[in-house]
Amino acid sequence: MTSTNRQTSNNTNANRSTANGQPARTCQFKMVLLGESAVGKSSLVLRFVRGQFHEYQESTIGAAFLTQTVSVDDTTVKLELWDTAGQERYHSLAPMYYRGAQAAIVVYDITNADTFSRAKVWVKELQRQAAPNIVIALAGNKADLATKRQVEVADAQTYADENGLIFMETSAKTAMNVNDIFMAIAKKLPKNQDTSAGRGRKDDKSITVDRPGNQPPAGNDGGCCGGSTK
C-alpha cells in the first residue's frame, strides 16, 4: 500500500459553458464503492472512467482513487471515486472511505446470493454510520451472466424500494447501465450547497492506486463549490 500510480485520461466534459454563455457551476462529491470481493467494483469504475474492461482484473489492495467529471444540466459534477477492497481483511478500513461520502454504490454479483446478503449489510452500515443524506445506489453486477443468476431482479428491486436506494443491474463487461447508474446518482446529488469543498482541484481523472497511508486528498469532503470552471 505504498506505491502511487497516477495516470490521466481525457476530460470531455469539464470547462463547458451554459447555453447563454455563462460558465457552468462546478460541484465535487465523494463517492465510495463497497461490496464483496470479486463482485466487480473496480471493473465498474474502470468501465465508467476509462471505458475499459479486463477479464483478469486484479483484486484491489487497500483502495483505489479515481476521478471522473460529468455534466448534469448546467452543472459540472466532479466525482471522487473511492474503490474499496472487498477482501475481508480490508473491511475495517471501509469507514475511512465512506466517512464524508455524499454517495455510495453497493455492488453485488447477480450470480452469487451471498454477495447480495453482504450488500445488505453494507447498506445497513451506511444507513447507520455514513452521512445521513448519503445517496446510495445498489448495483447488481455481471448482468451478462444471467444464465447463472442467483438473485432475482424483483427481489433486489423490492429491497431497494424499501430502503430508498437507486437500483440497476449492470455489466462492467458489456457496459450495460454503467454510465446510467453513475449518472442517476450524479443527478440526485444536491447541487445547491454553498460549501467550500472541491476548490479548484486540477487533477481531474487522475488515478491514485494505494495512496500512501490511504489518506484522502485534501478537500475531499465534497459538495458544491458554486464556482465557475474557468
According to DSSP, the residues that pair with 166 across neighbouring strands are: 137
Q: What proportions of the chain, in percent to the nearest 5, are helix, strand and coil?
A: 30, 25, 45
- The least CB distance from residue 127 to ligand GTP, in Å, is 21
Bridge pairing between strands 25-35 and 223-228: antiparallel
In the shown chain, the binding pattern of residues 5 to 44 toward Mg ion, with x for contact by CB under 5 A and - for none, equals ------------------------------------xx--
- CA–centroid distance for 106 within its chain: 9
Q: In sequence order, which residues have a C-beta less than 8 Å from that of residue 117 and are 6 or more positions away? A: none
* Binding at 145: pick from ligand GTP, Mg ion, none (beta carbon under 5-8 Å per type): ligand GTP
Cell of 21: 454563455
43 binds, among ligand GTP, Mg ion, none (CB under 5 to 8 A by kind): ligand GTP
Taking the complex as a whole, how short is the minimal distance between the CB of residue 5 and ligand GTP, in angstroms? 15
Rounded to whole angstroms, the Cα distance separating 88 from 59 reads: 12
In the complex, least distance from residue 62 CB atom to Mg ion, rounded to whole angstroms: 10
Minimum separation from the CB atom of position 43 to ligand GTP (A) = 3
- Which among ligand GTP, Mg ion, none contacts residue 62 (Cβ within 5 to 8 A by kind)? none
CA of 51: how far to CAs of 48, 62, 178, 196, in Å?
6, 23, 10, 31
Show the cell assigned to 40: 466487480
* Least Å from the CB of residue 66 to Mg ion: 11
Verify binding: residue 60, Mg ion, rule CB under 5 A. yes
Contact residues toward ligand GTP (CB under 6 A) are 35, 37-43, 54-57, 59-60, 85-87, 141-142, 144-145, 171-173
User: What number of CA atoms fall less than 13 Å from residue 83's CA on the CB side?
Assistant: 26
Half-sphere exposure of 7 (CA within 13 A, CB side): 11
| Shortest separation between residue 42's beta carbon and ligand GTP, angstroms | 3
Residue (46 or 224) nearer to ligand GTP, CB: 46
CB-wise, 30 or 41, nearer to ligand GTP?
41
What is the C-alpha to C-alpha distance for residues 30 and 222, in angstroms, rounded to an integer?
Answer: 6
Site size toward Mg ion, by CB under 5 A: 3
Give the binding site for Mg ion (CB under 5 A): 41-42, 60
